[in-house]
Structure 1
Amino acid sequence: MENLPIVPRAEVRPQWLARHHEAPLEPELPIIDPHHHLSDSLWGGYLQDDLLADLGAGHNIQSTVFIQVGFGYREDGPGHLRPVGETERVAAIAGRIPAEAGTRVCEGIVGFADLALGARVEETLAAHLQAAAGRFRGIRCHAAAHAQFQYGVMHAPPLHLYMDPKFREGYATLARFGLTFDSWAYHTQLDELCDLARAFPDIPVVIDHIGVPLGVGPYVGQRDAVFAEWKRLLQKIAALPNVCIKLGGLGMSVFGFGFHLAGRPPTSEELAQAWSPYILTCIEIFGPSRCMFESNFPVDKGTCSYPVLWNTFKRITAGMSEDEKRQLYRDTAARFYRLA
């Protein structure tokens, strides 16, 4: 099937973001941000000072989890150990951030290991754990692939990665190391993720970015049909108690909302109106104890600022109880990633 043009990510444009500011809502609400990245070059670069500026913008971010993005890999040595450089780099950055910053930055680290190596991946996992200074929590494998288009800056993985026997041989080793699995895949792949999670019930899984109900490529103009199919698949996978879900990532252009194309950034009210059906559906299906809000920064910074993002989530959950909010904003992430 002929590929459609690559769908670009929304670029981070500081001058565009500066056109709209908001004061933080519920500024005392404790938050763990369980999904952000660091990079020398992607999104114009996003390192310690950039992250600290966002974390210090008014919301009560107590802790964060770094998620792999292909950052800081070793430039030499065996290929299967080169991703350990990312863990080394992130642990070093986290170690330099003083306690006065007010946030336990990168308290958890989720790295990459090529699970398609099968059982041989154990050497990579052991090296990550050794390099992380007690911070290593799990593995994310980029599996988001579609026969009709390619999205983003990473090389497209093979289709049906989660069904590959060699991948599953490597995946099984996560249980022996006590590690979690982050799934970055599209809604069209949720059936395969369900099969994987069911086959290995002792491995905790979290679905990144609400399972990415697609709004680009062949799914343009199909929002209602995609929503119905995405919801059906989530209901199926939610029957597995080892699976949680991250509420976020909707600022990525692959969702098809198009806010990044406007002349000014969206307000939190506008984002809440567009995103609340998705967020509330996830909470209804999984329950607050298996849902965690995420920033996905700086990727979602192509759509809105850090204060506006968390204001959006807080508007969506305004009618929920204090206990439900504690689960959604802090406790689920703390349990899943074994944070202090």
Structure 2
Amino acid sequence: MSTSSNYLPVRAEWLASGTEPALEPDMPIIDAHHHFYERPGWTYMLDQYLEDVTSGHNITASVYMQALTRYRTSGPEELRPAGEIEYVAGATAPLQKGKPQVAKGMVGYANLRRGAAVREVLEAELQAGDGRFRGVRHLVTYDPDTTLANPLTAAPRGLLLDKEYRAGFSQLAPLGLSYDAWLFFPQLPELFDLAKTYPETPIIINHCGGVVRIASYQDHRKEIFDSWSRSMRELAQLPNVYVKVGGLGMRINGFDFEKGERPPSSKQLAEAWKPWMMTCIEAFGPNRCMFESNFPVDKGSYPYSNGWNAFKRMTSQASSEERTALFRGTVEKVYRLA
């Protein structure tokens, strides 16, 4: 399967046909997770992101997430990912005194399978990050069905349990760095074992914990929800684990938003997402949950404005303290953005 077929195509006209004005446009928001992409046929860099974040919602800052973008093209192979942090830090430096402070925190890639030797990569990224480098994401997505994971980032089975991977992981806490976890929901018990073994390392589960409801999972939706929610509740018992609430606009999630004549409204999104997202919020509590756009990946399913409107609708009955945590407080605390 090609890389591009792992992502839903972004169709500007289709998105424009159903873009909503922002609800509660003054509410301050920190977008906990977005990327810059520079891939064949798909460019989404700072200009494109700014177009989305300035379209109505009050996005004050963001956390940039690794995306294989602008690696160094020379020098030692293992240090090349530091180029992404270097590039993003430079491109967003002029924004740090205004609003939105794009990439106020940055998460990069480092090959944790290198064990203790990965420390030099982490130090290079800290140096490249203009004081804004906060942690690492090394994807561990694995499933026997190889069509589910992006071939660029597919991982071998059981990587979170691997001795060398853990030796690399153990380098994070001494440098004050966190770990972003992107995996599929059947792997959540392995993440539980990792998080329990390293209680001093903040672990942020991406995209509600890897909901997969297509291919071999398609006809087992009740069992999937039950298994996923059980695993998430177990992880919620560990105080070093947090969750990004969002990222449910991907192909693997199986919501089929992209199949509509027009993009889904925020009401439709809120209704579809509610069982998953409210389970996360109820299990972890608002002080350990943060909303994310996951753009441009989720842009194949809905406009930026509608996504944040859906989050606002879902939390309309929450207290102001709970909403503050979900929309900006938790991400500010976890990624040390204050």
TM-score, length of structure 2 as denominator length: 0.96
179-188 or 154-163, larger mean C-alpha shift: 154-163
Aligned partner of 1:139 in structure 2 is 136
Aligned partner of 1:283 in structure 2 is 281
Q: Deviations over 1:40-93 (max 9, x none)?
A: 226720111111111101111111000001111111111110100000110011
Task: Calculate percent identity across the aligned residue pairs.
Answer: 44
Compared CA separation, residues 180 and 113, structure 1 to 2 (3 A): same
Q: Deviations over 1:272-330 (max 9, x none)?
A: 11001111111110000000000000101110111111001111111111010000001
AA paired with 1:288? P
Aligned partner of 1:330 in structure 2 is 328
Aligned partner of 2:116 in structure 1 is 119
Aligned partner of 1:14 in structure 2 is 12
Q: Deviations over 1:14-42 (max 9, x none)?
A: 11111112110111111111100002226
Aligned partner of 1:312 in structure 2 is 310
Mapped partners of 1:92, 1:75: distance in 2: 17
Aligned partner of 1:181 in structure 2 is 179
Aligned partner of 2:102 in structure 1 is 105
Size of the alignment, in residue pairs? Answer: 336
Q: Deviations over 1:143-199 (max 9, x none)?
A: 111012333362311111101000000100001100000000010100000000110
Mapped partners of 2:40, 2:229: distance in 1: 32
Mapped partners of 2:96, 2:117: distance in 1: 37
Aligned partner of 1:35 in structure 2 is 33
For 1:141, what is the secondary structure of its paired residue? Answer: coil
Mapped partners of 1:6, 1:221: distance in 2: 25
AA paired with 1:127? A
Correspondence 1:200 to 2:198: yes
Mapped partners of 2:43, 2:5: distance in 1: 21
| 1:63/1:105 contact within 8 Å kept | yes
Mapped partners of 2:40, 2:23: distance in 1: 29
Aligned partner of 2:255 in structure 1 is 257
For residues 152-171 of structure 1, the aligned pairs below 5 Å read: 152=150, 154-171=152-169
| 1:83/1:112 contact within 8 Å kept | yes
AA paired with 2:224? V
AA paired with 1:82? R
Mapped partners of 2:36, 2:95: distance in 1: 14
For 2:29, what is the secondary structure of its paired residue? Answer: strand
| 1:11/1:43 contact within 8 Å kept | no
For structure 1, list consecutive stretches of 5 or more residues without a partner in the other structure. none
Root mean square deviation of aligned Cα: 1.6
Mapped partners of 1:99, 1:47: distance in 2: 20
| 1:139/1:180 contact within 8 Å kept | yes
For 1:173, what is the secondary structure of its paired residue? Answer: coil
Aligned partner of 1:218 in structure 2 is 216
Mapped partners of 1:205, 1:7: distance in 2: 29
Aligned partner of 2:145 in structure 1 is 148
Correspondence 1:47 to 2:45: yes
Mapped partners of 1:87, 1:324: distance in 2: 32
Mapped partners of 1:25, 1:89: distance in 2: 33
Compared CA separation, residues 327 and 83, structure 1 to 2 (3 A): same
| 2:246/2:294 contact within 8 Å kept | yes
For structure 2, list consecutive stretches of 5 or more residues without a partner in the other structure. none
| 2:65/2:106 contact within 8 Å kept | yes
| 2:141/2:153 contact within 8 Å kept | no
TM-score, length of structure 1 as denominator length: 0.96
Q: Alpha-carbon deviation of 1:264?
A: 1.5
Compared CA separation, residues 26 and 87, structure 1 to 2 (3 A): same
Mapped partners of 1:242, 1:222: distance in 2: 31
Mapped partners of 1:332, 1:111: distance in 2: 20
Compared CA separation, residues 321 and 156, structure 1 to 2 (3 A): same
Aligned partner of 1:66 in structure 2 is 64
216-225 or 165-174, larger mean C-alpha shift: 216-225
Mapped partners of 2:19, 2:191: distance in 1: 39
Mapped partners of 1:31, 1:214: distance in 2: 28
